[in-house]
Amino acid sequence: MRSGWYTPFCLVLAGVLLLSPIGWWGPSVAKAAPSMEPFPSFSDTVRSAGMTVKTYGFEQGNSDGWKPRGAYTQIASVTEAAYGGTHSLKATARTAAWNRAELDVKPLLLPDLEYEISGYVKLDGNAAIPSVLKFTIEQQQTGGTTTWKTVAQAETAGTSWIKLQGRYTFTGEMNALKLYVENSNPAQAYYVDEVEIRQVSVTRTNPTSGIVSGFEDGTAQGWVSRLGAETVQVSNADARTGSYSLLTTGRQKAYAGPKLDVTTTMQKGSRYTVSAWVKLVSGEQPAKVRLSVQRDHQGQSAYETVVGDTTIATGGWIHLSGTYTFAHDADAVSMYLESPEGTSSFYMDDFELSLVPPLAIEKDIPSLHGLYQGQFSIGTAIEAFQTEGAYGELVQKHFNSVVAGNAMKPASLQPSEGQFHWEEADQIVQFARQHGLEIRFHTLVWHNQTGDWMFKDKNRQPMTPTAENKKLLLDRLETHIRAVAARYKKVITDWDVVNEVIDPDQPDGMRRSKWYQITGTEYIEKAFRVTREVAGPNARLFINDYNTHEPKKRDFLYNLVRDLLAQGVPIDGVGHQTHIRLEFPTIAEIEQSIEKFASLGLDNQITELDMGLYSNDTDRYETIPEAMLIRQAYRYQALFDMFTRQQEHISNVTIWGTDDGNTWLSTFPIARLDKPLLFDERLKAKYAYWELVDPSKVPPLPAESNE
């Protein structure tokens, strides 16, 4: 992807495995029907926060309602190991990673309440490679699909007790809820003890309808100074509506501004519209402002742009509006106004945060991937939250391939040296395996979204081009690739090994990234060779870039790949990002590039397809004209007609996003409404979809079109 964090951005086997989700290490879900006393319904009792719902210590010498899953799996209360008391539950005779102990928790849990689930797990003997131990809940939604939520996980290769602890909430009616203990190492026995389920919320956790801040009561209505140095106060000096607005002055940093805590309003997995009006204080020069979110989780903060940099002219109110999907775990969430630079004082009025009604897909329309069966697979880019709910249903219906939009990029997987964060990537992989979807990996090497530590020398100073630093950087590269490829080599076949290495403005065509400055082109060769060694001979390895239709850039990339192939570097294909617009490039230019790389005997994949509606970087529509959406539809058809012509040379076409509500183009190159994909923000099929499926449903091409 050309730009990274711009949006807050989801093999069916025969026989018995049809009912078993497949994790990255193999089958991981089982079914059982433990017999338990029914728990009183919510209407029968009101539980207090912190109430223990159930504990399992196995001290009575039985499995206490837990059941085995797997043809040969056995579970029993044993005395050979225990975290508390004298007994624990042991799972043995496991022949696959998904063989396990599980518990029916449907009688225990109520919708829209938050629970804390904790317990201790211990391996029976040292592991040759670290085991991933998990608490997972299988959800079988009434009238819907089966999904899986990881509650807690940890890695260990030793035999010490490991504590797993996490929180869990579900919404809607469920046919089944199963809590189970996963172990990524097949055939390895484990113990579990002191499992506790606690209710930690008193009231149901449904998100509120939203927040409206008009300041007409003369108070700041919860808005405070973000950094503490700036002054945030209600003012009657100016207002968009009514008599009052919120005035922020004394800003000493660009990221200083008014902040509102929205933790109790927002719920993970929900989508919100956000709107605010901003005006500069009299005397200030034109400036830019943006609306952002800060998420705090386990002592670390992450930042997301909701409405990108928007210019405010002197003397008028400007409207900031956008959508935000609360997609990640967080202990605290706040929204705030900031600027990319400068410290101008400004007013803010009529802030609104509103819950978007639940999404639903159109289930009675043709599946997109079915149209191209036997030609090429059809993929989409997703984030972990899109493996659930309506997004997950959309992906399952229309796509047979997925790629992680951000979760597998270097900074996501290894933000600091040696500290790997696998959870979101694993969730996407498990979802794909459960539903028979191919998986593309994006990306092992990139100059963006790579931890700063990667380019620091042994003294933690920025690297300079020395022999010592070259070796250190290449060693770090190899370590990263070996860890990632080893984890996913059995389930991922297509790998974006290096991403965006070409800069046509350089004399030799090579991007002057830190990678290139320190190692020359050796990092490219190293990356492909190590990936081949670890991922195996059946892995398909790609070099990926944008604007490959431009003749100058195309030829630089062609020459690089040709030379690397001559040196025996294992490159199997070229990834063409294909972020295009309504007006350009021509279909012929894209086709010529595909044919050129095919002449080297290489596969081609369209890796990040979207079609922006604007012809420049400055226009902005409040409402997209229907004529533009019709033209977009016809251009999509022409593009896919070309893909069909070139199907011998194309193995995959991946759309960069599920829907118009989840596109990086909402904030790049500026904050504006854009609709570049096949489904709208409500997951409804657009003209672009119908032109591919049933052109009779699309109005005639507008007369002024040149298509």
Residue 490 has pLDDT above 90, yes or no: yes
Residue 705 has pLDDT above 70, yes or no: no
Q: What is the mean pLDDT of residues 635-642?
A: 97
- In this prediction, residue 110 carries a pLDDT of 85
Q: Residue 135 and residue 117: Cα distance in Å, rounded?
A: 8
- The model's confidence at residue 143, banded by pLDDT at 50, 70 and 90, is low
- In this prediction, residue 202 carries a pLDDT of 63
- In this prediction, residue 144 carries a pLDDT of 66
State whether residue 42 is helix, strand or coil: coil
Average pLDDT, the chain: 87
Residue 22 has pLDDT above 70, yes or no: no
- In contact, 182 and 29? CB cutoff 8 Å: no
Evaluate the CA torsion angle 170, 176, 180, 185 in order and state its sign.
negative
Q: What is the mean pLDDT of residues 185-189?
A: 88
252-308 confidence digits (pLDDT tens): 999 999 999 888 888 887 888 898 999 999 989 889 999 999 998 888 888 988 988
Structure tokens that stand for 580 in this block: 């295009």
Which range (23-32, 366-375, 594-603) has the least confidence?
A: 23-32
Question: Starting from the edge strand earliest in sequence, which strands make up the sheet with 131-141, in order?
Answer: 67-69, 100-104, 174-183, 131-141, 146-156
- The torsion angles phi and psi of 552, rounded to 5 degrees, stand at -65, -45
- The model's confidence at residue 585, banded by pLDDT at 50, 70 and 90, is very high
Q: Residue 510 and residue 491: Cα distance in Å, rounded?
A: 32
- In this prediction, residue 485 carries a pLDDT of 97
Q: What is the mean pLDDT of residues 319-331?
A: 85
- The model's confidence at residue 17, banded by pLDDT at 50, 70 and 90, is very low
Q: What is the DSSP letter of 664?
A: G
Residue 47 has pLDDT above 80, yes or no: no
Structure tokens that stand for 569 in this block: 């570097």
- In this prediction, residue 209 carries a pLDDT of 59
Catalytic residues: 500, 545, 608
Residue 196 has pLDDT above 90, yes or no: yes
- In this prediction, residue 96 carries a pLDDT of 83
Q: Residue 606 and residue 611: Cα distance in Å, rounded?
A: 13
Q: What is the mean pLDDT of residues 601-622?
A: 93
- In this prediction, residue 81 carries a pLDDT of 94
Please name which of 22, 178, 190 lies closest in space to residue 92, comparing C-alpha atoms.
Answer: 190
Phi/psi zone of residue 435: left (φ > 0), alpha (ψ -120 to 50 degrees), beta?
A: alpha
202-224 confidence digits (pLDDT tens): 654 444 557 888 998 899 998 99
Highest averaged pLDDT of the listed ranges 143-152, 254-263, 635-644: 635-644
- In contact, 545 and 608? CB cutoff 8 Å: no
